[in-house]
Amino acid sequence: MKSTVLVTGAAGFIGLYVSLNLLRKGYRVVGIDNLNDYYDVSLKEARLKVLAEEPNFLFRRQDVVDSEALSELFREFRFESVIHLAAQAGVRYSIENPSVYIQSNLVGFGNMLECCRRFETKHLTYASSSSVYGLNRNTPFQEGNDANHQVSLYGATKKANELMAHTYSHLFGLPTTGLRFFTVYGPWGRPDMAPMLFADAILSGRPIKVFNHGKMKRDFTFVEDIAEGVVAISERPAAPDPEWDPMRPKPQTSSAPFRIYNIGNSQPVELMRFIEILEQSLGKPAIKEFLPMQQGDVLETHADTSALEHATGVRPNTSIEDGVAKFAAWYLEYRS
């Protein structure tokens, strides 16, 4: 058996697939999650039932905000590698409940950095987000682009995580790698995200809310592609960039063992096209309610993933047609 990996947010959408990918590669996985009620806890419990079938998976219910419990966990297992996915998700929810994001995404991340430092973890891989690009309209987004004008507190906390990680990489030599996820979707997805919101409304005969009149593009990325990239990066600890120049500093690398990568499908899809494919996959048309742009949203996301492909050989490539069909088939079965 390979080494033991800690996956935080293991009952989450991406956490499920990352854990399964690790287990199938021969790792032992310790998963933690606080099972909060941001969305239906029964969905999180159903994901954990899938993982419970794996003999090398161990689950502990705990919160990364609890520094004492987190330290005890690290003391018990001495993790060589940590994949930190636990966070309070959701752009719009961050406008209504900022304090939750401060605790989970900032205090919790600080606790994780400190445990990795104290217990000499060899690599911390963590979830950042395409939300860090904020007002930047220079697409496709490259890791070296400006990412200093976030439009949501959620995006700001993810940018803060990158800054915090660099500090620990610089001061303590802790290898850290941040992955900027682009609109992840697929089976077992979150019910607060568009695919499941739309599918539920379509099948129930309710209108779907189409913001900005559907004139938005998203770099929809299938969850299995995301998991493959996360695990591949976790197996390659960040190292100092020998070409890093403090007179012309690149934000995605450093003289410290620090890296930032985009992980997306690199093929933005207009929201109306996504809805059309979902209608076809479900076999039922949607009733559309067209609304203006929502506060905190951006017009387009588009990932340049050439750095990730160069580092790992991984290139997310599941087509939107195949990915939505797989999601719809799963959702019809799960809903019934």
Burial of 304 (0-12, 13-18, 19+ CB in 10 A): middle
Q: The dihedral of CA 310, 314, 317, 323: what is its sign? A: negative
Radius of gyration, alpha carbons of the chain = 19
Alpha carbon separation from 242 to 67, 141, 168, 255, 256 (Å, rounded): 35, 24, 19, 7, 10
E strand map for the chain: 4-8, 28-33, 57-61, 81-84, 123-129, 176-181, 184-185, 207-211, 217-218, 221-222, 258-263, 269-270, 287-291
CB atoms within 10 A of CB 205: 9
Is beta strand 217-218 parallel, antiparallel or unpaired with respect to 269-270? antiparallel
CA torsion 27→32→36→39, rounded to 10°? 0
Distance between CA atoms of residues 166 and 106, nearest Å: 14
Distance between CA atoms of residues 10 and 61, nearest Å: 10
Distance between CA atoms of residues 194 and 17, nearest Å: 19
Q: Which of 17, 27, 133, 154 is catalytic?
A: 154
Residue 154 appears among annotated catalytic residues = yes
Question: What phi and psi, each to the nearest 5 degrees, are found at residue 188?
Answer: 70, 20
Cα of 18 vs its chain's centroid, Å: 10
Would you please indicate which residues are annotated as catalytic (active-site) residues?
154
